[in-house]
Amino acid sequence: MKVTLFIPCFIDLCYPSVGMSIVQILERLGHTIDYPEELTCCGQPAFNSGCWDEARDVAVRVVERLKDAETIVIASGSCGAMLKVFYIELFQGTAYEQKVQSVANKTFEFSDFLVTKLGVTDLGARFPARVTFHDGCHGLRELNLKEQPRTLLSHVRDLELLEMPEAETCCGFGGTFATKFPMISTAMGDGKCASAQETSAEYIVSNDSSCLMHLQGLLDRQGKPLKTIHLAEVLANS
Angle subtended at Cα 186 by Cα 181 and Cα 191, rounded to the nearest 5 degrees:
135
Shortest gap between Cβ of 159 and other proteins (angstroms)? 25
Task: Please enumerate in sequence order all residues whose Cβ is within 8 A of that of 62, keeping only pairs 6 or more positions apart, or say none.
Answer: 6, 39, 42, 43, 83, 103
Among 4, 173, 205, 230, binds other proteins (CB under 8 A): 173
> What gap in Å lies between CA 185 and CA 88, rounded to an integer?
28
13 is a site residue for other proteins (CB under 8 A): yes
Q: Which stretch binds other proteins (CB under 8 A): 2-10, 103-111, 148-156, 196-204?
A: 2-10
The reply to whether 49 sits near other proteins by the rule CB under 8 A is yes
Q: Does 48 bind other proteins (CB under 8 A)?
A: yes
Regarding 160 and contact with other proteins (CB under 8 A), the answer is no
> DSSP secondary-structure letter at 163?
P
Asked whether position 169 contacts other proteins by CB under 8 A, the answer is: yes
Judged by CB under 8 A, the stretch of 113-121, 150-158, 166-174, 197-205 that binds other proteins is: 166-174
Residue 153 to residue 159: CA distance in whole angstroms = 8
Strands 126-134 and 203-206: parallel
Least distance CB 158 / other proteins (angstroms) = 28
Burial zone of 119 (CB within 10 Å; 0-12 exposed, 13-18 middle, 19+ buried): exposed
User: Smaller CB distance to other proteins: residue 17 or 160?
Assistant: 17
Among 96-104, 119-127, 173-181, 199-207, the segment contacting other proteins (CB under 8 A): 173-181
Least distance in Å: CB of 215 to other proteins? 9
Distance CA 83, CA 207 (A): 16
Q: Determine, following the binding rule CB under 8 A, whether residue 61 of this chain makes contact with other proteins.
A: yes
Give the C-alpha separation, 84 to 162, whole Å.
30
Q: How many residues bind other proteins (CB under 8 A)?
A: 66
Cβ contacts of 135 within 8 Å, gap of 6 or more: 145, 146, 167, 168, 206
When asked if residue 38 is in the footprint of other proteins (CB under 8 A), the reply is yes
Q: What is the DSSP letter of 94?
A: S
Regarding 225 and contact with other proteins (CB under 8 A), the answer is: no
Chain residues that interact with other proteins, rule: CB under 8 A: 7, 9-17, 19-20, 35, 37-38, 40-41, 43, 45-52, 54-55, 57-58, 61, 86, 89, 137-138, 141-142, 166, 168-170, 172-175, 177-189, 191, 213-214, 216-218, 220-221
